[in-house]
Amino acid sequence: MQGPLNIAIQAARAAGDLSVRFIDRLDKVKVVEKSPNDFVSDIDRECEAIIIETIHKAFPDHAVLGEETGSRGDGDTQWVIDPLDGTLNYLHGIPHFSISIAMRVKQRLEVGVVYDPLRQELFTATRGNGAQLNDKRIRVSNRRSLNGAVLGTGFPFGQMDDLDRYMEVMAALMPRASGLRRAGSAALDLAYVAAGRFDGFWEFGLQQWDLAAGALIAREAGAIVADADGSERYMQTGNIVAAAPRVYREMHAIIGPRFTS
């Protein structure tokens, strides 16, 4: 998978370079509200165009699923792209966003890249070969329980149907963990689980492009990655719990009953 991985890295770096060029000129960026609290900018669209062009130069027959352009093409191999994960952060000048690119074959994730262009941190993985940060092997934390754990999450937006259950989960986790963090980029949150910066992460109602690359990177770093019910259907449901193995067991015991009842 070195060929596809190299192309994904090339595409992520090109999109990252574009996003950084405009970070100090946000007054020039055009923004549209797609739905309540869900924004898209012309930078999102231009980054996605760069990524797709880079992929199709190397693999013209591959299908693409992009956040901004939707599904293109068909076939067994599909690239899943979030050109700017953390758009709201980006538009407010908050330096925490990423480019997320994954490739799957017959619905199985094979390649994942999450790139933080401001810190120049490149998280990568290929199925069965582990995960890396800037070419150095990474592993999840060795945390043995929720005691002392730092957990990442994302709050509901748009539809607030799950807000009450979110609050229940947070109320149950907060006394046991050292801290909860809502950073604003699910792709980076999952990469941080892989690197041991977060001991665990959960969020619900995500899209495939939010999850694909980060989920593979976390799994290849040793995390348990699952839906709220413990299955591996998170790409279909958009609900994900990812954590170091012993932390995952305790998180699932708290989160699972509240989201599967």
Residue 143 lies in a domain: no
3-state SS class at 257: helix
Residues 173 and 208 in one domain: yes
Residues 15 and 79 in one domain: yes
Residue 49 lies in a domain: yes
Chain segment 117-156, per-residue pLDDT in tens: 999 999 999 999 999 999 999 999 999 999 999 999 998 7
Chain segment 45-55, per-residue pLDDT in tens: 899 999 999 99
Residues 134 and 167 in one domain: no
What's the pLDDT at 34? 59
Residues 118 and 161 in one domain: no
Q: Please, how many CA atoms are within 13 Å of residue 259, restricted to the half-sphere of its CB?
A: 30
Chain segment 164-186, per-residue pLDDT in tens: 888 899 999 999 999 999 999 99
Chain segment 195-222, per-residue pLDDT in tens: 999 999 999 889 999 999 999 999 999 9
Domain count, the chain: 2
Residues 30 and 110 in one domain: yes
What's the pLDDT at 32? 66
Residue 31 lies in a domain: yes
Report CA 178 to chain centroid distance, whole Å.
23
| Domain assignment of residue 70, given as a range | 2-138
Q: Quick check: 13 pLDDT over 90? A: yes
Residues 12 and 133 in one domain: yes
What's the pLDDT at 158? 58
Give the strands of the sheet with 121-126, arranged side by side. Answer: 70-72, 63-66, 77-85, 98-105, 108-116, 121-126, 131-133, 136-138
Residue 145 lies in a domain: no
Residues 181 and 205 in one domain: yes
Residue 75 belongs to domain with CATH number: 3.30.540.10
Q: pLDDT-based confidence at 36, cuts 50/70/90? A: low
